[in-house]
Amino acid sequence: MRIPFNKPFLTGNETKYIEQAVQSGKISGNGDFTKKCHKFFEEKYGFRKCLLTTSCTDALEMTSILINIEPNDEVIIPSYTFVSSANAFVLKGAKIVFADSYADNPNIDPSKIEALITPKTKAIVVVHYAGIACDMDLIMDIANRHNLFVIEDAAQAIDSYYKGKPLGGIGHFGTFSFHETKNIISGEGGMLVINDEAFVERAEIIWEKGTNRAAFFRGEIDKYGWIDIGSSFLPSEVISAFLFAQLESLDKIQSIRKKLWRNYHDAFSSLPNRSKIKLPQTPDYASNNAHLFYLTCADIKERTEIINALKAVDVLAVFHYLPLHQSVFYAHKHDGRVLENCDHFADSLLRLPLYFDLNEDDQQVVINTIKSVLI
C-alpha cells in the first residue's frame, strides 16, 4: 500500500532504552522505565496515580474490579466504541446499557444518559472519540446526583483537554492506550489513571496479581502476600522502555500530527455547499489532539465510493466501529432502542490516513482523490 492508514513512528531511542532495560538485569514489570513513565504522566498532567498496563483493555478490566462490578449490575456506555469498553464489564457479569451519540459527534450524548439510569446502574463509561472531550461537567453532574462511578475511556485522548483539564483526569478513573495506531505507542500497552484517592492502594494490589508486592519493594512492609483478587496487568520493562522513548518526543509528535490534521480540515472546508460531507466538530470546551481525521459521508454508498477511489490509487482509508448494540454477541441482550446517531456514524464515518511520517505530497493525493469523487 503506497499510503497506509497508519504507520508506527519511531523516535530512534526505543531500541537504545530497551537495551538499557535488558542490561539493567530487571526486565519484568515495575522497574526504572515503568517508574519514569508514571512520573511523566503524573507531573505533566497532574494525574493522582498512574499504573502502566499491557493494554487499555486491561486498564478497563481493572476498573471493573475496583468498583466491584457484580452480576446484574448495569453499566452505561456508548454503543459507538470498541468492544473493550463493554467487554471489561461483561466479563464480571454486568448488563450493558447502550447510549446514543450526538447527532453531529460520535461521543456519548449526555442528554440520553439519565433516562437509562436504574437502581442497578453502577457506572458510566465515556469514550472521548478521536481525542475530542465528552461534556464532562454534564456527565459528572449526572453521576454525582445518582452516586455513580465515571470511567473515562481515553484510549484515543492522550494530551487532550476539557476546559483545560487533561482527559483521563476528570472521572474516577481514566484509561489510555498505547497501541501502535495511537499518537504515542509501545506496540501494545495501556495505562490506568486513578483520580480518587480511595482506590489508589487497592489498584496497586490488583495490578500486582492481588499481592502487596509493590509496597514490599518500596520497603514499606517486610514481606508480601496474597491479599485481594488481581491479575498480571503490569507490562514488562521492555514495553515501558519503548514507551518512555515515545513520551520524550510527545510535543514533536503532536506538532506534526496537528499540522497534518489542519491540512485535511483546510482542504475539505472549501468543498462546494452541495457536498454533504461533514467535517469533525471540536466543541468550545474541547481541544484537539489530532488522533485521527474523519469525514462523515452522506451515507454508506458515498463512503464506499470514496474508499474504492482511494484504493484505486493505493491509499487505505477505513471506517470505524460497528454498533455494539447490533453485534452478534450482544444484540439479543439489547433492549431494542434504536440508536439512530450511532447507526449513522457506523454507516458514514470514514477515517483518513494520518501518521507522523505522512508527507504533504502523499496527503495531497488523498485530498485530491476524495475531491474528485465529491466535486
CATH number of the CATH domain containing 332: 3.90.1150.10
349 located within any domain = yes
Give the pLDDT confidence score for residue 259 in this predicted structure: 98
Task: Give the residue from 319, 186, 180, 305 showing the smallest Cα distance to 241.
Answer: 186
* 48-60 tens-digit pLDDT: 999 999 999 999 9
Does some domain include residue 4? no
Residues 135 and 256 in one domain: no
Average per-residue pLDDT for the chain: 96
Q: pTM of the prediction?
A: 0.96
* Domain co-membership, 288 together with 207: no
Share of the chain above pLDDT 70, in %: 100
What pLDDT is stored for residue 275 in this prediction?
82
Contacts of 333 (CB under 8 A, 6+ apart): 95, 96
Measured between alpha carbons, how far is 247 from 297 in angstroms, rounded to an integer? 35
Check whether residue 77 and residue 223 sit in a common domain: yes
Residue 249: pLDDT over 80: yes
Write out the residue range of the structural domain in which residue 254 sits.
250-374
Q: Is residue 287 part of a domain?
A: yes
> Which CATH number does the domain housing residue 164 bear?
3.40.640.10
- Decide which of 227, 248, 269 is a domain's last residue: 248
Which residues, at least 6 apart from 127, have a Cβ–Cβ distance to it below 8 Å? 77, 78, 80, 81, 85, 107, 108, 134, 153, 155
Considering 201, 227, 248, which residue would you say is the last residue of a domain?
A: 248
108 and 267 in contact (C-beta within 8 Å)?
no
Residues 126 and 32 in one domain: yes
Alpha-carbon gap, residue 235 to 217, rounded angstroms = 17
6 falls within a domain: no
Residue 324 within any structural domain of the chain: yes
Mean pLDDT, to the nearest integer, of 29-52? 97
Q: Is residue 71 domain-shared with residue 217, that is, in the same domain?
A: yes
Looking at residue 219, what is its pLDDT?
A: 86
pLDDT in tens, 128-164: 999 999 999 999 999 999 999 999 999 999 999 999 9
Going by their DSSP bridges, the two strands 149-153 and 161-162 should be labelled as unpaired
Residue 9 lies in a domain: no
Residue 77 has pLDDT above 80, yes or no: yes
Question: Cα–Cα distance between 106 and 198 in angstroms, integer?
Answer: 32
How many domains does the chain contain in total? Answer: 2
User: Is 90 exceeded by the pLDDT of residue 113?
Assistant: yes
- Using alpha carbons, list the distances in angstroms from residue 40 to 49, 67, 183, 201, 295: 11, 26, 16, 20, 34
pLDDT exceeds cutoff 80 at 347: yes
Q: Are residues 220 and 108 in the same domain?
A: yes
Both 244 and 340 in one domain: the answer is no
Across the range 96-113, mean pLDDT stands at 97
Cell of 124: 458510566
Whether residue 181 lies inside any domain: the answer is yes
Same structural domain, 255 and 217: no
Q: Provide Rg for the chain, Cα atoms.
A: 21
In a shared domain, residues 219 and 283: no
